[in-house]
Structure 1
Amino acid sequence: MVYRNRKKDDGCCSLTFLRYVLFVFNIMFWITGVAFLSVGVWTMMVKHKYVSLLGNSTYPATTILFIVTGVFIILVGALGCLGALRNIRCCLVMYAFLLLMIFLLEAIAGVLAYMYEGSIKEELTRNLNKTIIENYNFDSTISDAVDNLQKQFHCCGAESYRDWRWSRWLKLDQITKNKAPDSCCISPAEKCAVSISASNIYHTGCSPQLERFIKRHLIVIGGIGLGLCCIQVFGIIFACCLARKIKEITESY
């Protein structure tokens, strides 16, 4: 729709100005969408190898929420551009409503990350040792996660290498006579954990290491979620102003 009379369409609240502002906002909006999608995919691909060692699904749920929000942002941004380009008021109203939904999704993701960051120590203390003792060598996913954890962070057991003496795997292992998994060894090799001397295996536990690892990432997720959700407030304001301006101009003809 083209409006020929420009006498009442000047200044900082003009139709043209608001359209340009909304286009600029959409560029920033798409960038935040890419950021959310990238962080979510990166977390899913790189950081999720220890999810099986955690006691609940908050961490993976936050990651999935980031990916969904990123895709949603990219699609909603296209709706905003269409509404601004064609002066379609209903598109702009829907765009503002969807921005509000995105604001809530981002805020929820950020709050979940910070809440979980505060409880991760208690959860690891309660669940990591139990998971290792009961499931190592009986659940391939958990076994791989434990081995990777001990190799990456140069640690052994949950609190210390002594945790392994209570494991179901060790009680049933009558062949290797290991005192801990081979992944506990400073130089991993088959049956290298028959001896548990300080020069042979890592004596420090993995729980503090995994706690710091997850906390650092949750702080990043929480900061991005709560920080970028504020941008949506400006988009809601711009979209509502433009929709109102289109309505005013339409009614004046």
Structure 2
Amino acid sequence: MAVEGGMKCVKFLVFFFNFIFWVCGVALVAVGSYALLALAKAPVAAPGWSPAGVVALGVAIVFVSFWGCCGAWRESYCMVTTFAVLLSLIFLVEIAAAITAYVLKDKVHGLVEEGLWRAMRRYEQDPALATALDNFQQEFSCCGVNNYTDWASVGHFGANDTVPRSCCRVATESCNVRPSPATVFERGCLPSLQAWLRRNAVLLAGVALGVACFEILGVVFSCCLMRGIRSGYEVM
């Protein structure tokens, strides 16, 4: 029995929204990968949210949306039902992750600050950590935890009134001696990292909001298609 008008449109809407949903998944993978690469230079764990989790979510969305497209195209009740269930689970996981990130944001701030201080205190004993911190200070144009004066309490830096050369605005022979805002980055790495996360959180929030909208629409249209298929219609 041929489906007239409405159900035929539902089939193609499911297919169309799954394609857009697939694009959103690819966007999440791209955003998460960018954050992973940027934070790979940080001597502490990624704060607030895990870029690896964003990448994993994007990959899951890509596979689920592909499954939904196949189910809609083949008019398979089982595949469309599985897609609707998986899509609902992804939506619930996103809500839980957002709530968890909001509740733990203050705790995460303290852990990041503690991690930066620990990296500074081990700077002279751990060459690998020193290199990571140097790269981080150059990448984010920052110095110390809260500002460049934090280095005054660390080993020979405080005794000699110096900071690491990675703090220098312009690399010269004595740019790190008797540091001042004119010669070194005045801003600390903690506020610099927070500012970077706030800027990129807007992008991430926009992508996540778009994904959530398509998830809701995808579930609604999938349920409509499931009902049509189960009623014995042949969707064309």
TM-score tier (shorter): 0.7 to 0.9
Residue 21 and residue 165 in structure 1: after superposition, are their counterparts in 2 closer, same or farther (change >3 A)? same
Greater mean deviation of Cα atoms: 82-91 or 129-138: 129-138
- 1:92, CA displacement in angstroms? 1.0
User: How much does 1:75 deviate?
Assistant: 1.4
- Superposition deviation, residue 94 in structure 1: 0.6
Amino acid at match of 2:32: G
**What residue in structure 2 maps to residue 234 of structure 1?**
217
Do residues 221 (structure 1) and 192 (structure 2) align?
no
1:67 equivalent in structure 2: 55
Provide the C-alpha distance between the structure 2 equivalents of 1:245 and 1:91, rounded to a whole number of angstroms.
14
- Which piece of structure 1 moves more, 118-127 or 151-160? 118-127
- Alignment partner for residue 106 of structure 2, among 94, 116, 119? 119
1:131 corresponding residue in structure 2: 118
**Alpha carbons of structure 1 residues 112 and 212: separation in structure 2 relative to 1, 3 Å:** farther
On the 8 A contact 1:129/1:159 being kept in 2, the answer is no
Q: Which amino acid aligns with 1:157?
A: G
Match of 1:11 in 2: 5
Question: Number of matched residues?
Answer: 234
- What are the superposed Cα offsets for residues 116-156 of structure 1, whole Å, 9 maximum, x if unpaired? 6x538943784255224322233445423432343344442
User: Percent identity at matched positions?
Assistant: 30
Residues 68-104 of structure 1, C-alpha deviations (whole Å, 9 max, x = no match): 1211122112222222222221111111101112212
Larger radius of gyration: 1
In 2, Cα distance between equivalents of 1:29 and 1:10: 26
User: In 2, Cα distance between the equivalents of 1:84 and 1:121?
Assistant: 42
Contact 1:100–1:236 (Cα < 8 Å) also in 2 = yes
Change (3 A) 1:137 1:107: farther
Distance 2:126 2:63 in 1: 40
Q: Which moved more, 1:211-220 or 1:35-44?
A: 211-220
Helix, strand or coil for the counterpart of 2:145?
A: coil
Match in the other structure for 2:44: 53
> Normalising to structure 2: TM-score of the pair?
0.81
In the alignment, the residues of structure 2 paired with residue 189 and residue 124 of structure 1 have an alpha-carbon distance, to the nearest angstrom, of: 34
Question: What amino acid sits opposite 1:233 in the alignment?
Answer: I
Q: How has the CA–CA distance of structure 1 residues 186 and 43 changed in structure 2, closer, same or farther, with 3 Å as cutoff?
A: closer
Inter-partner Cα distance in structure 2 for 1:212 and 1:25: 34
Equivalent position of 2:166 in the other structure: 183
Is the 2:28–2:55 contact (alpha carbons within 8 Å) kept by the matching residues of 1?
Answer: yes
Residues 201 and 222 of structure 1, relative CA distance in 2, 3 Å threshold = same
Structure with more contact order per residue of length (Cα contacts < 8 Å, sep ≥ 6): 2
Task: Give the TM-score normalised by the residue count of structure 1.
Answer: 0.77
Say which SS state the counterpart of residue 146 (structure 1) adopts.
helix
Q: Is 1:87 aligned to 2:75, yes or no?
A: yes
Q: 1:84 is aligned with what amino acid?
A: A
Distance in 2 between residues matched to 1:129 and 1:230, nearest whole Å: 38
1:247 corresponds to: 230
Structure 2 portions without partners, runs of 5+: none
Contact 2:71 2:79 (C-alpha < 8 Å) held by counterparts: yes
Change over 3 Å in CA distance of 1:26–1:192 after alignment to 2: same
Residue aligning to 2:92: 104
- Where structure 1 has 5 or more consecutive residues not aligned to the other structure, the ranges are none
